[in-house]
Amino acid sequence: MSFMGIDLSSSSKRGSYFALLDTEGSLIYLDSFKAVDELMDVLRAHSPDLIAIDAPLSLPLGLDCLEEECPCAPMLEQKGRMSEQELASMHIGCFFTTKRSIIKGLIYRGLDLRRDLEAKGYRVIEVYPYATKVLLFGGKMPPKNTARGLAFLKDKLSGVVTGLAPYQSGLNHHGCDAVLSAYTAWLHQGDRTDSLGAREEGHIVVPQLLAPVLS
Ligand SMILES: [Zn+2]
């Protein structure tokens, strides 16, 4: 079996990193793509059993788009999706999916990619590497966009995923997020995750709460 993680960028003008883990949860591929066609070539070659995408893959119940001029409206009073409310209650910050989102480009790209992949028969889950990091490595991480933050992350990552050594050059923050996404997919296959939110709206999959860190 193999498990793919994708750190999706908001546009095909920028690279999106993807990582592939094998049955043992060991890294066997790390690279990036721009257009989704490039990703499809990789998928045909590797046929992952589960694909975890770091991007919102669903809209709040009641919304069919994020356009403020459209009359569609959320069914629930809360801000964003149920999964995002659960993250907030865990004190894990995220962007709420609303018509005023500042990441609409990424959300639309995520929705499109999910639809494309599922139409081709792939199993897809939504993940959130920041939550994965907080749950696995604790909330006290050095700032993300610093050399210290990256060194911390790579050190922690090497404690849970093997096979990182040949891919050091791709292990920037986006590459690490792709590996964390793939690792969350691997945990999900092993029944060691929790799915936040509700099925009818869409889950965010995170490492099982209070589970011991596996190595
Ligand atoms: Zn609408």
Asked if residue 13 is part of any domain, the answer here is yes
Distance 112 CA to ligand 1 centre (A): 15
Residue 215: per-residue pLDDT: 43
The parts of the chain modelled with pLDDT lower than 50 are 214-215
Q: Which two tokens stand for residue 71?
A: 């009359």
Distance 68 CA to ligand 1 centre (A): 8
User: How many domains would you assign to the chain?
Assistant: 1
Residue 104: per-residue pLDDT: 96
Asked if residue 88 is part of any domain, the answer here is no
| Greatest distance between any 2 Cα atoms in the chain | 51
> Which structural domain, as residue segments, surrounds residue 128?
2-59+104-204
Residue 47: per-residue pLDDT: 96
CATH code at 182?
3.30.420.10
Query: Do strands 16-22 and 27-33 pair parallel, antiparallel, or not at all (unpaired)?
Result: antiparallel
Residue 150: per-residue pLDDT: 92
Distance 198 CA to ligand 1 centre (A): 21
CB-count exposure of residue 186 (10 Å: 0-12, 13-18, 19+): buried
| Integer Cα distance of 32 and 128 in angstroms | 18
Residue 146: per-residue pLDDT: 87
pLDDT tens per residue, range 85-96: 999 999 999 999
Distance 80 CA to ligand 1 centre (A): 15
